[in-house]
Amino acid sequence: MTGCGVISAIGQGKEAFLGALLRGDHSFGPLVRPGRVAATAFIGAEIPTPVVPERFSRKLLRGVGHSALAALVVLQEAWDDAQLAGADPERVGLVVGGSNVQQRELVLRHEAYRDRPGYLPPTYGMSYLDTDLCGLGTEQFGIRGPAHTVGGASASGQLAVIEAARLVRSGEVDACIALGALADLSHWELRALRALGAMGSDRFADRPDLASRPFDADRDGFVYGEACAAVVVERATAAEARGAHPYAVITGWAVAADGNRNPDPSVAGEARAVRGALAMAGLPPRRVDYVNPHGTGSGLGDEVEVAAIRAAGLAHARINATKSLTGHGLSAAGAVELVATLLQMRASTLHPTRNLDRPIDPALGWVRGRPERHGMTNAVTLSAGFGGLSTALCLRAGA
């Protein structure tokens, strides 16, 4: 992985993002974006208006929605970071992780044209599709290799990275960008996720800063956070030819399904994904220095993940929870947390976990109230999604 880009409520760009992580910053508060406000208040973290590079075509940006704009900004940072400008466009691919990522935009459009459907802009016929992000990305960056989406609910971002690695490994491309798309939720999805018991209640309405508390005994569900991230995965020979310095090498991955439509995860499925990734990497569990978990703050999910980490032999590793700072970006989460892992590995420093006052398993290697210096050679990142999907990635620090 030779390039990365990120935007979240705590910072746009990898330098600002890393600084915010290590300070333990947050940006939680009432959600106020149009199409997201409802009679019931929701807590979350919304990104400021993205700073858009001047090189972007004004024509291309016309009619671009929130998810699409975040994607373009993040792709540009990853593209520049990896120095892809001189790459053969037919040997570069793009994989977008996420499904139904523009729900709020659709709600706003439906409301605006409910009484005048004959005036609906024809571009709606393209923009409602997630593949619109592929079209925008390939047009802006001249990508001519494969471009498609993959959906894995909250594991989508990491699933996109795995798909990008598969494309590179197969020889179909020399480089592939994996994007975890911004899941632009409307009040409808927020209502449903709260009704499911997955999203936190209004218990911390008066103290939004306390609401996101993965792995803490007082957690009561995830807190939504807007985010988007991308990484560039490429052949080592291609990177070496350009003099690109890798953040890390993907040494193993695995995807496991529980055969379960419901939102409840399983220890067996998550542990199977971790073991599969370790086996592919040829990596004994004892050599893993750090784990970046899914860690949403849900009542059942955190308990299951802790048990899976133990079952896979990783109880000795240092662990922190990025969602305690950023919130849960859903389709973007796996990519955002991968970028957080890459930046921490390069900085040899781990960010603190907010609100981890009473860990549900105090014996694990939590990084809690302050940043911690920690050299990392091998790291594991984990994601999970509704429908019983678990993913795991093994990373080795770049040379």
CATH number of the domain that residue 143 is part of: 3.40.47.10
Of 242, 276, 293, the domain-final residue: 242
- Write the pLDDT tens digit of every residue in 243-253: 888 999 999 99
Count of other CB atoms within 10 angstroms of residue 39: 6
* 253 and 232, same domain (yes or no): no
Structure tokens at 363: 């014996």
pLDDT at 39: 67
Q: Are 317 and 214 found together in one domain?
A: no
Q: Are 176 and 280 part of one and the same domain?
A: no
Q: What is the pLDDT of residue 235?
A: 92
Number of domains present in the structure of the chain: 2
70 & 219 share domain: yes
- Closest to 82 (Cα-Cα) out of 5, 166, 167: 5
Q: Which residues contact 77 (CB under 8 A, 6 or more apart)?
A: 3, 4, 5, 6, 13, 14, 230
- pTM value is 0.97
Query: What span, in angstroms and rounded, lies between the C-alpha atoms of 327 and 51?
Result: 21
Same domain, 178 and 47: yes
Residues spanned by the domain of 344: 248-397
Calpha distance 316→218 (Å, rounded): 24
Structure tokens at 177: 């960008």
Beta bridge partners of 228: 7
How far apart, in whole angstroms, are the C-alpha atoms of residue 365 and residue 369? Answer: 13
pLDDT at position 152 = 96
At 76, list the tokens: 């540009």
Q: Based on the domain organization, do 129 and 219 belong to the same domain?
A: yes
For residue range 219-261, list pLDDT tens digits in order.
999 999 999 999 999 998 888 888 888 999 999 999 999 998 8
Q: Which amino acid is at 103?
A: Q
Examine the domain organization and report whether 292 and 209 are in the same domain: no
- Residue 212 sits in the same domain as residue 308: no
Both 213 and 351 in one domain: the answer is: no
Output the CA torsion sign for 76, 253, 185, 150: positive
* pLDDT number for residue 262: 81
**Among residues 211, 242, 273, which one ends one of the domains?**
242
Residues 264 and 231 grouped into a single domain: no
> Which residue, of 242, 272, 291, is where some domain finishes?
242
Q: Are residues 48 and 122 in the same domain?
A: yes
The rounded average pLDDT for each run of 10 residues, N- to C-terminus, in the chain (399 residues) is 98 97 97 88 93 82 90 97 94 97 95 95 91 95 98 97 98 97 97 93 92 97 98 92 91 95 89 98 98 96 97 98 98 98 98 98 97 97 95 93
Structure tokens at 200: 């936190």
- pLDDT for res 399: 66
> Do residue 281 and residue 217 come from a single domain?
no
